[in-house]
């Protein structure tokens, strides 16, 4: 159970990082960059990635053939992409899918697991050698140029040295047949005399080491051919940024540019691939690396998303192969169009919910001052999220007004004092004033630029805007209605949300209302401190589904004195 929660936590952190980077960069700018790629550029990238995959599978196929394993090319390709799919979604890259590949090879060809694992170890060692070779070539440009400061060059040199040393020692140990791995496992039996498994596993690993020794001695010509195919596969990967930015910006990457990108990305992939599929860490790393080469954050994020999409196509092919082999069970009729659409909606809903909950954990570790700077940066341009022209937001405004138990009336507003938390530039505050919801309306936010625009936009009598951090203070006085729309997940923790719920209840008059808006279905987690509060009860709830970003609007009422005593 602990592993399940660890996986969930890693996914949440990765999605949170991914969302934060996308928000900071700007989704609209990223989308514009993706559109600039065009159909021709997209097909060129697809062809390049397909060539890289075929060359890698061919390299492994050569090793299988050298060890006497006979499999049709289609089977080899299917098993290869299946292993890639499993590796891709495990927290540590390039590891999880190897047992799956070995088991499928043994099942399809009758080859022993020892031989199957030997081909996989050699395949990974050759991939490591290819990575080191390209990284060392790039290191010459990275370490001798003026792109990086001296401290960063030392760090890169250290990372390259560790990478090269690990791969070189691995190749030499198996080429000279030192049996270090089997000796290490066997020696564990000395720790406890009752243990028999170290001896059993030590013998199996020794047999695999003997097989690998053959690859670097009697089968060396085949191993050399496999190595050349690996190099060609890595070269295709090397060309990814050159192709993408040629089609989107007309930029021609020089050899030093490509070398620097590949070099730093290799270190990132090897040492910092901590979340499943490197989610969040890969995007942040690519954006940072490409920024060194003069690429905008929007361009870097668009490139990373394109790479992510191409990888997911391969993952989908691998999962489909696993389902055909019975490792993933698919019910009859599950691949019908309606069933696939339903499954896709469920998967997107799960990812979306995990993304929103991941944001909650991510904001928890960002200091309040840093959060203020992040929003100040976003509000450097007016209406950074495009709320003023958004039909999605207009519909949300309508629902936030329609859910009120008391009908708005400009001639006789039903609420005395209204508080809007996170009012931003005052778009909804103006809607409240025009509709006649309250006699006094107070909007609060902690972004000074946004409040300046809100005051200019909404010069109605009885409307006031205050600069406040709601985690530290609330406006003075009591209120009859409080709006808290798309705000709670920015507080950063359930504890802060509970504290806000207690402080708001203390300021809300009996019979007053609180309207919460949050992304569905994750809003259940964010709104729980309010919906479970002993002084509040839910009086209305509306879920808007079928949207790219569905949401829920919930209205709660503060219990009267008599209700609190009897409830």
Task: Give percent of the chain with pLDDT exceeding 70.
Answer: 73
Looking at the structure, tell me whether residues 13 and 117 fall in a common domain. yes
Least Cα distance to 307 among 368, 261, 260 occurs for: 261
Is residue 432 in a domain?
yes
Domain endpoint, select from 278, 309, 330: 330
Task: Find where tokens 């609209």 sit.
Answer: 28
Q: Between 18 and 211, where is the model more confident?
A: 211
402 and 305, same domain (yes or no)? no
Claim to verify: residue 227 and residue 94 sit in the same structural domain: yes
pTM of this prediction? 0.54
Q: Tens digit of pLDDT for each residue in 168-180? A: 666 677 677 777 6
> Which distant-in-sequence residues (6+ apart) come within 8 Å of 216 by Cβ?
171, 174, 175, 223
Query: What mean pLDDT comes out for the span 323-341?
Result: 52
- Phi, psi (deg, nearest 5) at residue 70: -110, 115
Q: How many domains does the chain have?
A: 2
Whether 318 shows a pLDDT value over 80: the answer reads yes
Query: Residue 335 and residue 351: Cα distance in Å, rounded?
Result: 21
What angle is formed at CA 303 by the lines to CA 299 and CA 305, rounded to 5 degrees? 115
- 413 in the same domain as 302: no
The pLDDT tens digits for 447-497 are: 888 888 999 888 888 899 998 888 888 898 899 999 998 888 777 677 888
My answer on whether 169 and 240 are in the same domain is: yes
Question: Do 294 and 421 reside in the same domain of the chain?
Answer: no
Q: How far apart are CA 427 and CA 363, in angstroms?
A: 25
- Does residue 90 sit within a domain? yes
- Of 429, 365, 399, 341, which Cα lies nearest the Cα of 518? 399
Co-location of 294 and 440 in the same domain: no
Q: DSSP secondary structure string, 50-90?
A: HHHHHHHHHHHHHHHHHTT----HHHHHHHHHHHHHHHHTS
The last residue of one of the domains, among 313, 330, 347, is 330
DSSP single-letter state for residue 111: -
Does residue 362 carry a pLDDT above 60? no
Q: For 4-23, what is the mean pLDDT?
A: 57
Q: Are residues 128 and 271 in the same domain?
A: yes
Q: Describe the chain by its helix, strand, coil percentages, rounded to 5.
A: 65, 10, 25
Whether residue 273 is predicted with pLDDT greater than 60 in this model: the reply is no
Q: How far apart, in Å, are the Cα atoms of 226 and each of 93, 125, 139, 273, 363?
A: 22, 11, 24, 26, 47
Which tokens hold the place of 524?
């259940």
Q: Is residue 480 in a domain?
A: yes
Main-chain phi, psi angles of 345, to 5 degrees: -65, -40
pLDDT tens track for 133-168: 776 666 555 556 555 566 666 766 676 677 667 666
Residue 220 is inside which H or E element, if any?
helix 220-238
Q: Residue 381 has which token pair?
A: 């341009």
Same domain as 415, residue 289 = no
Give residue 565's pLDDT.
42
Task: Write down which residue in 284, 302, 330 finishes a domain.
Answer: 330
Is it the case that residue 409 has pLDDT exceeding 60? yes
Backbone φ and ψ for 531, nearest 5 degrees, come out as -65, -25
Question: Does some domain include residue 240?
Answer: yes
Q: Tell me if residue 377 falls in helix, strand or coil.
A: helix
Given CA atoms 192, 194, 197, 199 in this order, what sign does their dihedral have?
positive
pLDDT at 524 over 80: no
**Is 225 among the domain residues?**
yes
In a domain, residue 406? The reply is yes
pLDDT of residue 61: 92
Same-domain pairing of 325 and 441: no
Quick one: pLDDT at residue 195?
Answer: 75
Point out the least confidently predicted range of 113-122, 484-493, 513-522.
Answer: 484-493
* Count of beta carbons in the 10 Å neighbourhood of residue 53: 20
Same-domain check for residues 440 and 315: no
Mark whether 303 and 426 lie in a shared domain: no
Q: Which domain holds residue 307?
A: 2-178+216-330
φ, ψ for residue 463 (rounded to 5)? Answer: -105, 130
- CATH number assigned to the domain comprising residue 411: 3.40.50.150
Q: Is residue 168 part of a domain?
A: yes
Domain assignment present for residue 408? The answer is yes
């Amino acid at each position: 159970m602990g592993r399940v929660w660890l996986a969930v936590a890693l996914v949440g952190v990765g999605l949170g990082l991914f969302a934060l980077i996308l928000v900071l960069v700007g989704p609209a700018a990223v989308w514009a960059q993706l559109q600039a790629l065009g159909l021709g550029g997209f097909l060129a990238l697809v062809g390049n990635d397909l060539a890289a995959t075929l060359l890698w599978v061919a390299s492994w196929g050569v090793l299988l053939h050298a060890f006497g394993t006979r499999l049709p090319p289609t089977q080899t390709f299917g098993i290869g992409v299946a292993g890639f799919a499993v590796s891709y979604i495990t927290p540590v890259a390039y590891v999880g899918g190897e047992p799956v590949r070995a088991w499928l090879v043994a099942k399809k060809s009758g080859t022993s697991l020892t031989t199957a694992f030997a081909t996989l170890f050699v395949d990974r060692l050759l991939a490591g050698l290819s990575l080191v070779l390209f990284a060392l070539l790039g290191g010459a440009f990275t370490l001798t140029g003026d792109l990086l400061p001296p401290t960063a060059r030392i760090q890169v040199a250290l990372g390259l040295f560790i990478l090269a040393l690990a791969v070189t020692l691995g190749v030499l140990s198996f080429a000279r047949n030192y049996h270090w791995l089997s000796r290490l496992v066997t020696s564990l039996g000395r720790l406890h005399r009752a243990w028999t498994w170290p001896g059993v596993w030590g013998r199996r690993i020794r047999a695999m080491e003997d097989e690998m020794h053959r690859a670097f001695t009697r089968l060396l010509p085949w191993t050399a051919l496999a190595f050349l195919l690996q190099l060609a596969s890595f070269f295709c990967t090397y060309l990814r940024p050159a192709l993408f930015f040629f089609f989107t910006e007309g930029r021609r990457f020089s050899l030093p540019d490509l070398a620097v990108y590949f070099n730093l990305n290799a270190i990132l992939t090897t040492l910092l691939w901590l979340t499943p599929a490197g989610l969040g860490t890969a995007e942040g790393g690519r954006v940072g690396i490409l920024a060194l080469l003069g690429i905008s954050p929007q361009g870097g994020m668009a490139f990373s998303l394109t790479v992510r999409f191409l990888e997911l196509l391969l993952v989908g092919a691998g999962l489909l192969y696993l389902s055909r082999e019975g490792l993933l069970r698919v019910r009859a009729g599950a691949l019908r169009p309606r069933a696939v659409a339903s499954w896709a909606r469920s998967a997107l809903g799960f990812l979306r919910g995990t993304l929103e909950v991941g944001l909650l954990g991510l904001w928890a570790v960002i200091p309040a001052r840093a959060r203020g700077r992040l929003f100040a940066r976003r509000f450097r341009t007016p209406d950074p999220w495009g709320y003023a022209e958004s039909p999605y937001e207009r519909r949300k405004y309508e629902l936030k007004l329609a859910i009120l138990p008391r009908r708005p009336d400009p001639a006789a507003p039903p609420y005395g004092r209204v508080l809007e938390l996170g009012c931003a530039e005052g778009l909804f505050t103006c809607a409240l004033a025009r509709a006649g919801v309250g006699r006094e309306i107070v909007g609060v936010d902690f972004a000074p630029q946004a409040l300046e625009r809100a005051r200019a936009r909404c010069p109605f009598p009885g409307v006031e805007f205050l600069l406040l951090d709601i985690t530290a203070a609330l406006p003075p006085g009591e209120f009859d209605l409080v709006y808290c729309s798309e705000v709670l997940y920015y507080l950063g923790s359930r504890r802060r949300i509970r504290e806000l719920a207690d402080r708001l209840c203390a300021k809300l008059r009996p019979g007053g209302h609180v309207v919460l808006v949050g992304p569905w279905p994750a809003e259940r987690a964010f709104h729980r401190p309010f919906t479970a509060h002993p002084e509040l009860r839910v009086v209305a709830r509306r879920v808007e589904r079928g949207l790219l970003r569905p949401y829920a609007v919930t209205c709660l009422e503060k219990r009267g004195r008599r209700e609190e005593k009897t409830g």
